[in-house]
Structure 1
Amino acid sequence: MTDRLITHLRHIDLAVPDHAKQLDFFTGTWGLTAEHSDTGLTFLAAEGSPEHYVVRLRQADDKRTDLIAFGAASDADVDTLAARLAGNGVRLVSEPAALQTPGGGYGFRFFDNEGRTIEVSSGVGVRTHRKIAEGESIPVRLSHVVVNSASPEETRAWYERHLGFALTDTLMHPRMGEMMWFMRINSWHHSLAFARGPHPSLHHASFELRGIDEYMRGTGRLLRAGVEKIWGPGRHLAGNNTFSYFLDPHGNTVEYTTELEQIDEDTWHPHLYDFSNPEVADQWGTANQMNEFVAQKSFNDPDRGLFTAPPV
């Protein structure tokens, strides 16, 4: 594992054919705030987060994940990481430069081993944010992103080698073997995870709520609005976080969660959890059963953006 030069997850950028419909869902139902909008391009903030945006929506002919963005501590670390990646044969999309997105900063983009566009930046301005009130069931921050991978062992090794991610826990199944790897870049149990899937795609994006009451209120609001629930509400063993998974209007899975575990990295030893044990999937026993039909909902469509950088 290389030394870490990235510090945290910043945002996920999505391209969708129906920008207006997706925007209405994220603002009117999910609880994000639209800012800095332009024609066919919207930056969505979480009211409790210092990030200028946690989701960017772009109108496009094809649904795709435009990029996943991470932060770095300094411009020097951005330069060091860019040089290191280029020296190791990683294909850069752009060289380090001033960012032209809300909050500014200094960053660059590159492709990971499966062709996802990744951005790393530093010096991004802090958004004026606030403490989410008791009972207010809107996202506080972007918690984590999980991607499907056709070669998850290789993808895990790539992120460990090049970006300094560390394995926190692994899920396995007696019939399918190892199936999900939770990866951390700081003390949060995971900021990124890799799921074994038929093709590279977004598995889900997860948003942290204030607490258990707000998480349940948010879950209920989505159910009352008729949004399709995939799985939940429940509480995972790995990460000890709550979960309610829903489908957005374009078939992407989005999650409400809270109380994701923070670990002591100096003493942590990864677990191998058997997903066929019901308490591994859901400690509470309140969620619908996870089976192959439920799992397929999060396979998502094959990502149309692999090794193709977004235009903005």
Structure 2
Amino acid sequence: MSTYWVRRPEGIKMSSHLITHLRHVDIAMPDLTQQLVFYRDLWGLTEVANDSGVHFLAAEGSPEQYIVRLRRDDLKRLDLVAFGAASMADVDELAAQLVKADVALVHAPRALDTPGGGYGLRFFDIDGRVVEVSSDVAVRKHRKIEERESIPVRLSHFVVNSPNPEATVAWYEQHLGFRLTDTMALPHMGGFMWFLRCNNFHHSLAIARGPHVANHHVSFEMRGIDEYMRGTGRLLRAGVEKLWGPGRHKAGDNTFSYFLDRAGNTVEYTTELEMIDEDTWHPTVFDATEPDVSDQWGTANAMNEYVASKSHNDPDKGVFVAPPI
């Protein structure tokens, strides 16, 4: 395997580590009914609240109030991606840093009226996505996922497409304090996916090179290998289109089975995402032409143009437009 160390881009000043974890991903689409049935009845999430056609879905094993929010809209779009902060003071500090850096706020820190409440702000990232950062959200009563129970334990990570990923990576490093864990590269194009962390999970966010701004995939952690395979089988038996998998990636050492939801977004069942020691970790560039980098097991279908195009998704219609809720 070809590996080498990479350096952080020159001139990037790190913010303090104010982001603690990934909370939820909120998406909108024209056909809300089919999407709700998919995530609740097939994917294995639990509807915990709904308000005026907005549905909040939790993972039974997660203390987060919800990990997916669904909303009907005439356009297919990402409403927002939400991260946690440790305290109201950290939210205020982040807001002050963003304002000083001329980052456009959707709203300043305030009390939130979504399930669990809390205190948070929203702002646009460099590509026009809405990002929310919140603290003091009430913990949801959750439970241990049992053996052979093939439903998500928690939200694992979120991957987005950017036509200028180097700038997007630098933006998240500079303004939100994310750290580069690893990079995937191809000889003819260089880097095409950057894995970023905000805690000791290998990645909570990744940035992929794509033709336009869009969601790449949303990943959900399962209890273990058996539960991951049972969930994969349930989706296959239900006739849900599988894009790629089952297999096991090199970067992150996690399993993968990618499917399409009812709006054409890619979603993933995974498990065993690598935990790292931040004090000793050095980023590595992985050569994706080596077969075991994409899939250590050799069990997944080949990554081809069709799989790649579906992962590129449709252009996000919500860029630099704040969601109504």
**Which bin holds the TM-score, normalised by the shorter protein?**
over 0.9
What residue is the counterpart of 1:170 in the other structure? 183
> What secondary structure sits across from 2:50 in the alignment?
strand
What residue is the counterpart of 1:2 in the other structure? 15
What residue is the counterpart of 1:130 in the other structure? 143
Deviation of residue 150 (structure 1)? 0.5
> What secondary structure sits across from 1:297 in the alignment?
helix
What residue is the counterpart of 1:244 in the other structure? 257
Q: Which runs of 5+ in 1 are unaligned?
A: none
Q: Report the more deviating stretch, 178-187 or 292-301.
A: 292-301
> What secondary structure sits across from 2:312 in the alignment?
coil
Aligned-residue CA RMSD (Å) = 0.6
Deviation of residue 291 (structure 1)? 1.8
What residue is the counterpart of 1:73 in the other structure? 86
Among 288, 295, 303, which residue is 2:301 paired with? 288
What residue is the counterpart of 2:169 in the other structure? 156
TM-score normalised by L of structure 1? 0.99
Q: Measure the CA separation in 2 of the matches of 1:66 and 1:32.
A: 19
TM-score normalised by L of structure 2? 0.95
Deviation of residue 3 (structure 1)? 1.3
Letter in 2 for 1:50: P
Deviation of residue 293 (structure 1)? 2.1
> What secondary structure sits across from 2:243 in the alignment?
strand
Deviation of residue 37 (structure 1)? 1.1
Q: Measure the CA separation in 1 of the matches of 2:195 and 2:272.
A: 16
Within the alignment, does 1:106 sit opposite 2:142 as a pair?
A: no
List aligned pairs for 1:116-265, cutoff 5 A: 116-265=129-278
> What secondary structure sits across from 2:145 in the alignment?
coil
What residue is the counterpart of 1:298 in the other structure? 311
Letter in 1 for 2:65: H
Within the alignment, does 1:43 sit opposite 2:56 as a pair?
A: yes
Displaced runs of 4 or more, over 3 A: none
Deviation of residue 123 (structure 1)? 0.2
> What secondary structure sits across from 1:298 in the alignment?
helix
Deviation of residue 80 (structure 1)? 0.5
Q: Measure the CA separation in 1 of the matches of 2:311 and 2:53.
A: 26
> What secondary structure sits across from 1:22 in the alignment?
helix
Q: Measure the CA separation in 1 of the matches of 2:53 and 2:241.
A: 25
